Amino acid sequence: MLCLLPLLLVGIVAVRHWSVLAEGFGHLRAARWPWLLAAAGATCLTWVAAAVTRQGAVVERLPRLRLLATQFAAGAANHLLPTGLGASAVNLRFMAVCGVPLARSSAALALYLLAEGVARVGLLTALLLAFPGALRLGALLPEGALGPLLAVLGGAALLTAAALLLVRRLRSAVCSFLRTALGEARSVHTRPARALALWGGSLAFPALQAAGLAAVGQALGLPVPPAHMAVAYLAATVAVALVPTPGGIGSVEAALIVALVAAGGPVAIATAVVLAYRIITVWLPLLPGALTLGVLVRLKVI
């Protein structure tokens, strides 16, 4: 129910602003196809970057083609469960089939998520420093929303800390996992090739996603510089990371439109850009990804 609530809210907003959505769909007819093909190419490279990062998070050598196919299939699984749980489950199963123990594969998954998050926030910070006027950050949050948001985050942190202090079993499990995760991280970083794959792939993944959005913006003539579109994309994806919708459906679209408008884009064209981008990155690969997932399960690759 918590996962469906954001979708319901987005649906209500879409109905109330249907004229803007209809105008956005109308702009798609004027798209320049070479730029859309460039966006599709950047999307395909994100699966390569994800595979490189997954390999960098474990010491063992994983079979390359099966690892790449697993990342493609994980994208489809990601739309069944919220906040990346589908892709995580697929990758945990893949590493288990490859002989990686569960504790170490879980540690590798945590290392992957940490590296990807650090790279995304680091890239956003670097772009904001390079282009300080790229985004009007005040437009991203409704007036008076910052205080309640910080209060919710602070309350969640306090509850987590209290649970760790009061529940001994939970504290022991978390400490055991952290010891395994730190050991796995040290092992990975003693191998330069693995460390380069981990951090290089983590940086390339959001950069390619942002490049895909910038290419769609160029295709539809969005009057926003590509670097500013990249800043808007990274800011939006960081903002919706805490919203538990399957595959970010609904929440990502809304946040991207708000971010592109905050970067200086007209509402109708920004809506068209986001619709085209999500069609390329989510809806077109969904059926082939689901079929690939079924084949991998049938072949016992995962």
**pLDDT for res 231:** 93
Residue with tokens 């998954």, as numbered in its chain: 109
**Beta carbons within 8 Å of 229's beta carbon, 6+ residues apart:** 210, 213, 214, 217, 222, 260, 263
Please give the DSSP secondary-structure letter assigned to residue 264: T
**Beta carbons within 8 Å of 245's beta carbon, 6+ residues apart:** 3, 6, 7, 82, 251, 252
- Cα distance between residue 257 and residue 221, in whole Å: 15
Q: Quickly state the pLDDT bin for 85 (edges 50, 70, 90).
A: confident
pTM above 0.85, yes or no: no
Residue with tokens 């994208």, as numbered in its chain: 75
Q: What is the pLDDT of residues 278-295, one digit of tens each?
A: 888 888 888 888 889 989
% of the chain beyond a pLDDT of 90: 42
Q: What is the pLDDT of residues 93-117, one digit of tens each?
A: 999 999 999 888 999 999 999 999 9
**pLDDT for res 284:** 84
Distance, C-alpha 103 to centroid of its chain:
24
- Cα distance between residue 189 and residue 177, in whole Å: 18
Out of 68-72, 76-80, 90-94, pick the least confident: 76-80
Q: What is the pLDDT of residues 228-260, one digit of tens each?
A: 999 999 988 887 776 655 555 666 778 888 889
Please say whether the beta carbons of 263 and 134 come within 8 A.
yes
